[in-house]
Chain A
Amino acid sequence: DTGVSQNPRHKITKRGQNVTFRCDPISEHNRLYWYRQTLGQGPEFLTYFQNEAQLEKSRLLSDRFSAERPKGSFSTLEIQRTEQGDSAMYLCASSLGGTLIYNEQFFGPGTRLTVL
């Protein structure tokens, strides 16, 4: 039983560099989410895909951030010109779609980003 996987688990970069993270969701899940979590906070919603369509982006997702899910399977989150304030845990989650009145999201282990 494979869950959500994320790579890399840790990334250290210098300010101004670009970074890209990958998320592989649970195979039958058509919904995919990205969250950001900083110390002492719960996860904060960044963006949401249903299949390959990006249906919502949070105000937290500045124009330096871009996310894709080209074939409706894995997703990438790219941060351009990283800033120290981007240091956080980036979490990916997936869930089944359809007409459920609620959806249970299953999280990956996260990518810890440190910007020096």
Chain B
Amino acid sequence: TQLLEQSPQFLSIQEGENLTVYCNSSSVFSSLQWYRQEPGEGPVLLVTVVTGGEVKKLKRLTFQFGDARKDSSLHITAAQPGDTGLYLCAGGESGGSNYKLTFGKGTLLTVNP
């Protein structure tokens, strides 16, 4: 069973601060996806990374996939209250099981005005 560990579990910061959340595994994934989920809603896909060492930017969000494709990070610059939510990483298996996503437990981010 492939497991994804996310850290920190909870993060509360002030508007304007920077932050980084981490997603780690002992397993290799063919891809890694980051989602943001608001209370009572489904996860919304933010980005997919597939190549070891890949870096993708989405406005103030920077996503990195580890060289060995076992870990990933999400960095937010100048956080805003609208960034508040549960950030989930999900790893995609390879080969014939590439439909499977394994989710971490998430990082609950609160950005205070």
- Using a CB–CB cutoff of 8 Å, the interface residues on chain A facing chain B are 4, 6, 31, 33, 40-45, 48, 50, 55-56, 91, 93, 95, 100-110, 112
> How far is it, in angstroms, between the C-alpha of A102 and the C-alpha of B69 when the chains are bound?
13
| Residues in A whose Cβ lies below 8 Å from that of B88 | 42-43
Chain B interface size, as a band, is 20 to 34
Name the residue in A4, A6, A100, A108 with the highest tally of chain B Cβ atoms < 10 Å from its Cβ.
Answer: A100
Closest to B41 in A: A109
Question: Would you call A104 and B42 a contact (CB within 8 A)?
Answer: no
Given contacts A101-B30, A103-B92, contact A95 B99 (CB under 8 A): yes
Query: Could you give, for residues 46-74 of chain B, a 1 whenever the CB lies within 8 Å of some chain A CB and a 0 otherwise?
Result: 00101000000000000000000000000
| Residues in B whose Cβ lies below 8 Å from that of A42 | 4, 88, 90, 103-106
| Residues in B whose Cβ lies below 8 Å from that of A33 | 99
> How far is it, in angstroms, between the C-alpha of A50 and the C-alpha of B90 when the chains are bound?
20
Question: Would you call B99 and A112 a contact (CB within 8 A)?
Answer: no
Whether, in the assembled complex, B40 has its beta carbon less than 8 Å from a beta carbon of chain A, the answer is: yes
Question: Would you call A107 and B98 a contact (CB within 8 A)?
Answer: no
Whether, in the assembled complex, B85 has its beta carbon less than 8 Å from a beta carbon of chain A, the answer is: no
